[in-house]
Amino acid sequence: MKVLLVYKHTVSIERLAIACLSAALKEKGNEVRLAIVDIMSREAILEMVREYRPAVIGYTAMTGEHDDLAALNREFKAFHEFFAVFGGPHATFFPGFIEEDGIDAVCTGEGDVVFPELCRRLEAGEDYWLTPTFEVKRDGEVFKNEKAHLVDDLDTLPFPDRELLYQADPQFLRNSTKFFMATRGCPYKCSYCFNVNYNKEYKGKGKAVRTRSPEHFIREIEETKNKYLLEHVSMVDDLFILKPRWWLEEFAKLYKERINLPWDCTVRANAVREEDIIMLKESGLRFVWMGVESGDEEAANNILDRAMSNQHLIDAADILRRNGVGLYTLNILGLPVDNPFESDLKTLDLNIRIKPTYGGTSILYPYPGSPIERYVKAQGFLKDDPTSFPETYKRSSMLDFKSEMDRRRIENLHKIFGLIVNFPILRPAAHFLSGLPLAGFYRAVYYLWYGYVYKIKLQPMNWRREGLYFIGLFFRMMKKS
C-alpha cells in the first residue's frame, strides 16, 4: 500500500516518530514517502499527491500545526480519494478532532504496530474501523477503539527510517548532529506535559517506561555513524539518566568503544548522581538539558507538580559544573499566579545562582487536555476556549493577565532571560528592560544569543557546511515567532 506521511516543519530536529512509523510500515511491505510542508511549495506538495497517488495519507500534528494540516488535507481531498489519518499530540488529546471535515481516523497512541495493521485491514477490505488505538469514522458513525498494548520490548522494533527524512530534507544529511531515543515514556506527573494523560490512558496496557538494551541502542548509533555524517549525538529521551546503574555502565562502555563522539542528554535534578556524571563524562557527555521550570517553589510544586526543591537543582548544577559538563536549563515563564512577573524574576535569580551554560525559556502553553489547561481555566487565566492556537511557545502567552504591561514584561523577559543569566550585571535592570516596547528587537536578541551559545559553545557546528542553513533558520524562526 502507498502511504504518504506529512508534517509541517523540522526546525533542524529530526522527527523520530515519523521515521519510526515509516520503518514499521516498510517492514510490513508498504511503500512510504514523506512531505515536509514548510520546505516545499504548495504546488510541489499537490503535485506529489497527484503523481504518487497514496492510498493513505498520515499527518502528525502538534497543537498549533493542526489547523494548517487539516486545511491541507481538505485540499488534497478535493482532487484525490484517500484515507486520511491524523496522529501526534494534538490529535491524541484534543477531544473531537476526529469530527473535523475530511479526517477519516485519528491514532490516539503508540502507532508502530497499529498503523501498519490499519493499512493492512484497509488493503484487505477487513474491519479497519475496529483497529485498536484508533478513532475511525465510517458511514456517519465514529468508532472509538480501545488502546492496544504498548510495545514491551523495544528491541523488536526496526531502527528509525532516517533515509526517509534525508530524502525529504537533504539538509539533515549535512547537519553533524543526529537524534536518538533509548527510552519511551516518563513516570513523572508534571502538569504542563501530555505524559500525565498518556499514562492514565495506557494504564493496564503495559509498562509506561520502556528502555532498549544498550547493545541495540548502540547498534543504531553505530549504523548511523557508518552511513551518514555524525559528529555529535543527541539523546532525546524524556529523561535519559533515569536508568538503572547497570544500564548506564554498559552504555558508557559500549559508547566509548564503538562511537566515541561528544553527546548530550536530558536529566532530572534529583536523579543526578556524581558517580554517574563522572562515568558518562568519560564516555563523551558534553552537556545536559535539565528542567528547572520555576524558581518560585510554591508555583513549581503546587501548580507545575515539579515535586522537587530548588536545592535539588542547585546541588545537581554544582555536580555538573565540578565535572565540566555543560548545562542547558529549561524554564517556564508566564505562570498562572497573582504576580507572574515577580514569580518569573525568582526563576531568573535561581538560574543566576545555578550558572548554566544557557538559561533556556518557554512561555507556559496550556496544551489541550493537560492538567495545566484545567488549572488555568479554573483560576480564570483562560476565560474562553481558544479558537486558534499558536504554533510556538516562544513568542506570546495565551493567558489572561491583569494588565497588558504584565504581558509585555513576561514576554520580553522570556527573550532576554538567557542573556541576563550569562551577564548577571544586567539583573538590576531586568524590570526596566522587560517593560520597554522592543518586542521585535528582543526576539532577534533571543535567537542570536541562543544560536551563539547552542551552536558555538555547547555544540560547535561546521560553519562551512552548516552556517548558511542556520542563518536561514534564524530568519525562519523570526518569521514563525
Express each pLDDT in 192-240 by its tens digit.
888 888 888 899 999 999 999 999 999 999 999 999 999 999 999 999 9
The top-scoring range by mean pLDDT among 195-209, 330-344, 393-407 is 330-344
* pLDDT for 481 beyond 60: no
Averaged pLDDT for residues 10-27: 90
**Band of residue 83 on the pLDDT scale cut at 50, 70, 90:** very high
CATH of domain 2-144: 3.40.50.280
Place of cell 474501523: 129
* Residue 10: how many other CB atoms lie within 10 Å: 18
Sequential DSSP letters for 270-311: GG--HHHHHHHHHHTEEEEEEEEE-S-HHHHHHTS-----HH
Q: Give the mean model confidence (pLDDT) for residues 167-187.
A: 91
Percent of residues, the chain, with pLDDT higher than 90 = 72
Mean pLDDT of 356-367: 92
For 146, 186, 380, the CA distances from 203, given in Å and listed in that order, are 12, 13, 31
Assigned C-alpha cell, 2:
502507498
Task: State percent of the chain over pLDDT 70.
Answer: 93
Lowest mean pLDDT among 11-25, 82-96, 203-217, 299-313: 82-96
Contact 341, 370 (CB under 8 A): no
**Domain map of the chain by residue range?**
2-144, 175-480
pLDDT at residue 193 in the model: 86
Residue 82 has pLDDT above 70, yes or no: yes
pLDDT reading at 189 higher than 60: yes
CA distance 314 to 28: 49
d(CA 56, CA 91): 17
Q: How far apart are CA 2 and CA 29, in angstroms?
A: 10
Question: Would you report the helix, strand and coil content of the chain in percent, each value rounded to 5?
Answer: 50, 15, 35
Q: Band of the pLDDT at 383, cuts 50, 70, 90?
A: confident
Provide mean pLDDT across the span 68-78: 93
Please return the burial class of 364, using the count of CB atoms within 10 Å of its CB with bins 0-12, 13-18 and 19+: buried
CA distance 255 to 279: 11
Q: What is the pLDDT of residue 369?
A: 80
Task: Give, in degrees to the nearest 5, the angle at Cα 426 between 425 and 429.
Answer: 130
Identify the pLDDT of residue 478: 60
Spatial distance between the Cα atoms of 165 and 35, rounded to a whole number of angstroms: 9
Q: What is the mean pLDDT of the chain?
A: 91
Q: Which residue has the higher pLDDT, 455 or 23?
A: 23
pLDDT score, position 334: 95
More confident residue, 166 or 172: 166
Residue 278: other Cβ atoms inside 10 A: 14
pLDDT at residue 387 is higher than 90: no
Paired strand residues for 328: 289, 358
At 135-165, the pLDDT tens digits run 999 998 999 999 999 999 999 999 999 999 9
Residue 25 has a CB neighbour count (10 Å cut-off) of 25
User: What is the topology classification, in CATH, of domain 175-480?
Assistant: pyruvate-formate lyase- activating enzyme (3.80.30)
Over range 60-86, report the average pLDDT. Answer: 90
Of 386 and 371, the one with more pLDDT: 371
Which of the two residues, 474 and 436, has the higher pLDDT score?
436
157 vs 24: CA distance, rounded Å: 7
pLDDT exceeds cutoff 90 at 72? yes
Span of 14-18, 246-250, 339-343 with lowest mean pLDDT? 14-18
pLDDT value of residue 456: 81
Angle at 257 between CA 256 and CA 261, to 5 degrees: 45
pTM for this one?
A: 0.92
pLDDT greater than 80 at residue 318: yes
Residue 277 clears pLDDT 70, i.e. is over it = yes
pLDDT band at residue 9 using 50, 70 and 90 as cut-offs: confident
